[in-house]
């Protein structure tokens, strides 16, 4: 599910220009001048009787034109401001066909915030315009990788607490390896939404979501409601299968569903964030959203279903000139390959017990700060407990003791080679704007045309349980957060 790399740097995100309504002071109409009043191109010495009449008519014409222009401007201003300042409804819209709330959680992997403007996306923008959007995007958790973020969305927990701290990692106690096909429940901590729903005696259906294939607690991944990931399944088939759930009797429709697309992450890793291939991938996702909307409308339930569309992370271009090589640190310290659990965008090092992580970090940073290491200023190495607290990335034994934060777009490799690459990656510090993704909510409890400030994706768990009116499991989200996003019920 996305050929994710790994994580990091600490940089202030560059603000993206936003559309701001500006108040433009309208200039006063010009005061008529003598030249205008005595408009006279006839230089003969004897005045004609028609000249005063022409001047008067011209003056009246100018006054009428000015009056009409001002009237049109005032009318436009009234219509514009009366439209944009419509009050947000005070209560959620009532269900018209379904007899219970339904949440459909959709993920478009690697959908960087801003992709929705790369090409016409009429269907995604229909959800935006008729729903609620995180104005400057959704903030992923660190590391900004597929599995840590999808499971953070599902559990409301940071990776240190839900256990999936990377796409590939090792258990320091058993030596076992986690990879993206691992379904042993020992790796997957916390309580994901599908398990929470089933715990309340309700039905959930998952169509590809990291962790949903794991049989854990009361969730058994039933064959008819839990699809195992298969890259070859066409996107259209995925959408149509979800739509078929709405053909069931209303009381049997699952109250929670997931739908996953691996694009545009798939293309982003190959070509970066700005290639025409990305544009086509975004257009394809929009067509799938259109297919979904049309199917829900045909069934008369579009306005009843709460659609939450998100991505898991963003994407940034990477090229060979932005590389750092661990072998360049050899004058200060040797970092053997078998110490390194991941290179980039998250450098993770677990040395043998006989080596001091404190000494290793000190020597690595000495070399990096010496000015003698190519691109050394673009890597900062930490003991995990000394990482910025905002990353929430220290409270698990699965996280190696040494973590390197890499500057945006840079990559770390063991040693120099002839291999050439220029593509895209993610996994970096979630403070980078390039790592942001989208949040769009459409449904009875989402106000139409509303923009909300950006927030971290761990808040989505409580948002879903609030819509479904069920008690969620303990998590890292804020209990009061749904009140800031959702319209209250009557």
| Residue partners of 391: CB distance under 8 A and separation at least 6 | 142, 429, 430
- Say if domain 320-418 classifies as CATH 3.20.20.140: no
> What is the C-alpha end-to-end distance of the chain, expressed in Å?
41
Place of tokens 């309504």: 21
Using pLDDT thresholds of 50, 70 and 90, give the confidence band for residue 319.
confident
Reported as a single tens digit per residue, the pLDDT across 227-260 is 999 999 999 999 999 999 999 999 999 999 999 9
262 vs 117: CA distance, rounded Å: 19
Picking from 361, 370, 369, 366, the residue whose alpha carbon sits closest to that of residue 339 is: 361
The catalytic residue among 121, 146, 206, 318 is 146
How many residues are present in the chain?
Answer: 490
* Of 44-53, 63-72, 162-171, 311-320, highest mean pLDDT: 162-171
Picking from 139, 5, 120, 4, the residue whose alpha carbon sits closest to that of residue 434 is: 139
CA atoms within 13 A on the CB side of 200: 19
Task: Indicate if 146 belongs to the active site.
Answer: yes
- At 484 the three-state DSSP class reads helix
Residue span(s) of the chain under CATH 3.30.1360.180 come to 320-418
236 vs 229: CA distance, rounded Å: 15
Residue 478 has pLDDT above 90, yes or no: yes
Average pLDDT over residues 136-159: 98
Residue span(s) of the chain under CATH 3.40.720.10 come to 100-315+429-483
Q: How far is CA 427 from CA 179, 319, 342, 408, in A?
A: 16, 16, 11, 10
Average pLDDT over residues 333-349: 96
**Average per-residue pLDDT in the chain?**
86
User: How many C-beta atoms surround the C-beta of residue 365 within 10 A?
Assistant: 18
- At 435 the three-state DSSP class reads helix
Average pLDDT over residues 282-301: 98
Alpha helices in 118-213 (DSSP H): 122-129, 146-155, 159-162, 193-199
Residue 66 has pLDDT above 80, yes or no: no
- Say if domain 100-315+429-483 classifies as CATH 3.40.720.10: yes
Residues 262, 214, 240, 442: what is their CA dihedral angle, to the nearest 10 degrees? -70
CA atoms within 13 A on the CB side of 266: 13
């Amino acid at each position: 599910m996305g050929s994710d790399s790994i994580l990091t740097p600490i940089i202030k995100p560059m603000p993206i220009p936003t559309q701001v309504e500006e108040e433009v002071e309208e200039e006063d109409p010009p005061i008529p001048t003598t030249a205008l009043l005595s408009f006279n191109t006839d230089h003969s010495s004897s005045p004609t009787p028609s000249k005063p009449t022409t001047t008067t008519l011209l003056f009246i014409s100018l006054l009428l034109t000015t009056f009409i222009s001002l009237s049109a401007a005032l009318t436009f201003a009234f219509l514009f401001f009366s439209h944009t300042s419509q009050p947000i409804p005070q209560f959620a819209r009532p269900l018209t066909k379904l007899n219970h709330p339904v949440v459909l959680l959709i993920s478009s992997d690697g959908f960087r915030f801003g992709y929705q403007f790369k090409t016409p996306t009429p269907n995604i923008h229909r959800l935006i315009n008729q729903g609620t959007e995180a104005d400057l995007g959704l903030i992923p958790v660190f590391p900004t990788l597929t599995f840590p973020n999808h499971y953070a969305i599902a559990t409301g927990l940071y990776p240190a607490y839900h256990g999936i701290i990377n796409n590939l990692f090792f258990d320091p106690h058993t030596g076992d390896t986690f990879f993206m096909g691992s379904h042993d429940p020992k790796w997957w901590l916390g309580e994901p939404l599908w398990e929470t729903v089933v715990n309340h005696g309700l039905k959930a259906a998952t169509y590809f979501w990291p962790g949903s294939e794991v049989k854990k607690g009361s969730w058994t991944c039933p064959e008819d409601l839990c699809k195992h990931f298969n890259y070859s399944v066409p996107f259209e088939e995925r959408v149509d299968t979800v739509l078929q759930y709405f053909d069931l009797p209303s009381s049997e429709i699952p109250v929670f569903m997931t739908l996953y697309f691996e694009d545009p992450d798939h293309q982003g890793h190959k070509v970066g964030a700005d290639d025409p291939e990305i544009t086509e991938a975004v257009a394809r996702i929009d067509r799938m959203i259109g297919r979904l909307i049309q199917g829900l409308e045909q069934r008369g339930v579009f306005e009843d279903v709460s659609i939450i569309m998100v991505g898991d992370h963003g994407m940034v271009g990477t090229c060979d000139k932005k590389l750092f090589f661990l072998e360049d640190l050899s004058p200060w310290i040797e970092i053997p390959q078998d110490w390194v659990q991941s290179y980039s965008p998250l450098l993770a090092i677990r040395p043998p017990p006989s080596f001091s992580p404190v000494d290793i970090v000190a020597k690595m940073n000495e070399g990096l700060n010496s000015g003698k290491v190519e691109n050394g200023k673009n890597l900062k190495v930490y003991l995990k407990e000394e990482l910025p607290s905002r990353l929430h990335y220290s409270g698990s034994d699965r996280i190696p003791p040494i973590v390197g934060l890499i500057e945006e777009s840079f990559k770390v490799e063991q040693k120099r080679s002839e291999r050439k690459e220029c593509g895209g990656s993610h996994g970096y510090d979630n403070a980078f704007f390039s790592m942001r993704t989208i949040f769009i909510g459409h449904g009875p409890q989402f106000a139409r045309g509303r923009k909300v400030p950006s927030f971290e994706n761990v808040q989505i768990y409580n948002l879903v349980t609030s819509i479904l009116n069920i008690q969620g499991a303990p998590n890292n989200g804020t209990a009061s957060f749904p009140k800031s996003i959702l319209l209250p019920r009557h």
